[in-house]
Amino acid sequence: MRSSSYGKLQIIILKIVKSLIVVAQNFQDEEFVYPYYKLKEFSEVYVASSDGKDRFGKYGVPARVTHKFSDINVDDLDVIVIPGGFECPDRLRIDQDCLKIVKDCVDKKILVAAICHGPWVLISAGVTKGIPMTGYLAIHTDLANSGALLDSVNELVVTDHFITAQHYRNNPEFMLAVKDKLSV
C-alpha cells in the first residue's frame, strides 16, 4: 500500500495481489479448495492447466481453470501455489510450460508455495538445491536427493521465497504463512 497526500486530500493506492494455482488432473481436493478460497480473501486468483481446461480432484472437486500455462506472465504474479495429491504433481512435473513458470517465479523471487507432493514440481524445475523444505513423507528422500535441505521435523517450512508444507491438515498455517509473506 502506498499513500500520497495532496493538501488535505489523502490518496491511498492499494496493490492488487495476484495469485496462481497450477493444477493437473486428480489434485488433492483439500489442497486446492482451501488455498483457493483463502487466496480469494485477499487476491485475484488465476487457475492454470496445460490446455486451459478444467480439472478435477481425486474426490471430484472441480478446479475452474482460467488460463493455460503458456498464457501466464509471471511478471503479473505475487505467488504461485502448487497443490499435492499424488497424480497432479506427477503430471505437472513433466509439463515444460509449468516448469518454466516455476523457474521464472524463482528467478524473479516471486513467492512459491507447495504442499504435500507439490514440491516434486520444484524438484523437477531444478530449484530446490540449498533451500530448506518439507513435503509429504513419501517425497522426503526425493527432496534430500535433489539438494534441498530437508526438514522432516517441521510440518511447515518458510524461507524468503518458498513455503512448503507436509499435508492438507497444515492448510491453515500454510495459507497464513502465504498471507504473512505477501504482507496483506
Which residues are known to be catalytic?
Answer: 116-117
Rounded to whole angstroms, how far apart are CA atoms 27 and 60?
A: 9
Q: Is the dihedral of CA 80, 90, 98, 40 positive or negative?
A: negative
> Which 3 state secondary structure label does DSSP give 86?
coil
* 34, 171 contact by CB (below 8 A): yes
Rounded to whole angstroms, how far apart are CA atoms 98 and 175?
A: 22
Rounded to whole angstroms, how far apart are CA atoms 137 and 145?
A: 14
Bridge partners (DSSP) of residue 165 are 115, 156
Cell numbers linked to 140: 522426503
Cell numbers linked to 67: 488460463
| Distances, alpha carbon 129 to alpha carbons 67, 122, 133, 170, in Å | 29, 10, 10, 24
